Amino acid sequence: MTPARELRICFRADASVSIGSGHVMRCLTLASALRERGAQCRFICRQHPGHLISQIEAQGFPVIRLPFFAETHGQPEKPAIFPRTAHHAWLGNSPELDAEECAHHLAASPVDWLIVDHYALEAAWETALQPYSRQIMVIDDLADRAHQCAVLLDQNLGRTTTTYQALLPATCRTLTGPQYALLRPEFAAWRAASLARREQACISHDHPLQLLINLGGVDQANDSERILATLTPEMLPSNTHITVILGPSAPHRNAVEQRSQGLHWPCTVIVAANNMGELLSRADLAIGAAGSSTWERCCLGLPTLLLILADNQRGIAAALATHTGLASAGEDLATSLRHFFQQLCSAEERLTHSRRIAELVDGQGCRRVADLLIATGEPA
């Protein structure tokens, strides 16, 4: 039997100012786990504004760079053969040309798994790439289009096999729910200490309230500054400390830093944090995007006011509201903030919510997925 270290895996995922960083980041997490198991991983990414190709390469993964559409002007357009998804604009090219480019790069070195995490791609694209990969896995959150794959992963709360039943081949294996959330190992490593700290905080009431704000890796709409500007003295205890975390490509960093200096409470702005597990474990409350980082906070039992920053986040926010009783932020941000802080003003209330969300995610999802791919994808 050929050892698993020879397993060849390719990821097709993009990041951009519009797309955000979540798709690439969770693929990087899975790629790292697969590499630890001996697999050879590489990426295919388009060079959108705000791409994370340098970050992928810095972690030791080769990247095949596809040109952004602005660099391909003058080429004849491909006929529209493939369906256009609701997120077609995220692709930066036609799906036909994208499939042709990917096929060109994979033809010389076919793979055992092609892992696709892109809302702009669907069954027709996947079918076109089947000759170049023994098996295809799709990572999705939307359940809004058909797929042609051997494995489909949707890590969101409330998803079940029946969610995708009409969208997948009968032979496709579905991995659904937060038990498969692709979290970095640091979150599992900090889980016990984080949950223990929350139990202790319920006994000892003398420590300052730690509020963490993190609206994704880009925060294109500058919601971080909007939240800081909306906070008023009566919302939070005087001994509160605020931490704002921004991604390395956040375009409004200067505005957030300037706003942080005029608050009623000390505020620290951290850019490109490399210890998210530790930072989340030390926070008492959070304000965060209702995207994939939701499961990081759940793993560490951190009660969070969710902001819906994209349509695909509405399902996560609704499912968590049903499970926890905490509504996501509405259009009136000030009212939402005030209600959130009132709900969780006591350590006892925070502990109740912490226990409730921590039971959803144990931090072992990436291990489960990686083990499955290795076990079912070994070369013949």
Each residue's pLDDT tens digit, 300-321: 999 999 999 888 899 999 999 9
Bigger pLDDT: 315 or 228? 228
Phi, psi for 80 (deg, rounded to 5): -80, 90
Lowest mean pLDDT among 57-71, 109-123, 180-194: 57-71
Q: Is the pLDDT of residue 2 over 50?
A: no
Which one of 30-34, 78-82, 202-206, 343-347 scores highest in mean pLDDT?
30-34
Mean pLDDT of all residues in 197-220: 87
- Residue 218 has a pLDDT of 82
- Residue 75 has a pLDDT of 57
Mean pLDDT of all residues in 201-229: 89
Question: What is the share, in percent, of the chain residues with pLDDT greater than 70?
Answer: 95
Q: Is the pLDDT of residue 239 over 70?
A: yes
Task: Give 125-130's long-range contacts (Cβ < 8 A, gap of 24+).
Answer: 125/82, 125/95, 125/98, 125/99, 128/82, 128/99, 128/103, 129/99, 129/102, 129/103
- Residue 333 has a pLDDT of 96
For the chain, the average pLDDT equals: 93
Distance of CA 77 to the CA centre of its chain: 32
Domains of the chain: 4-183+363-377 (3.40.50.11190), 185-358 (3.40.50.2000)
- The DSSP annotation for 137-202 comes to EEE-S---S----SEEEE-STT--GGGGGGGS-TT-EEEESGGG----HHHHHHHHHHHHHHHHHH
Q: Is the pLDDT of residue 76 over 70?
A: no
Q: Is the pLDDT of residue 361 over 50?
A: yes
- Residue 249 has a pLDDT of 79
pLDDT in tens, 156-204: 999 999 999 999 999 999 999 999 999 999 999 999 999 999 999 877 6
Nearest alpha-carbon partner for 48 in 24, 29, 26, 31: 24
Mean pLDDT of all residues in 82-106: 94
Nearest alpha-carbon partner for 154 in 136, 181, 135: 181
Which residues in 268-302 are b (16+ Cβ under 10 Å) and which e? ebeeebeebbebbbbbbbbbbbbbbbbbbbbbbbb
Contact 317, 157 (CB under 8 A): no
Written as one letter, the residue type at 231 is L
Q: Is the pLDDT of residue 362 over 90?
A: yes
**DSSP, res 219:** -
* pLDDT confidence bin for 86, thresholds 50/70/90: very high
Nearest-angstrom CA–CA distance, 379 and 111 = 10
- Residue 74 has a pLDDT of 53
- Residue 184 has a pLDDT of 96
- Residue 4 has a pLDDT of 43
Q: Is the pLDDT of residue 327 over 90?
A: no
Structure tokens belonging to residue 309: 């920053």
Q: Is the pLDDT of residue 51 over 50?
A: yes
- Residue 78 has a pLDDT of 62
Nearest-angstrom CA–CA distance, 102 and 104 = 5
Nearest alpha-carbon partner for 100 in 74, 82, 73: 82
Nearest-angstrom CA–CA distance, 236 and 233 = 6
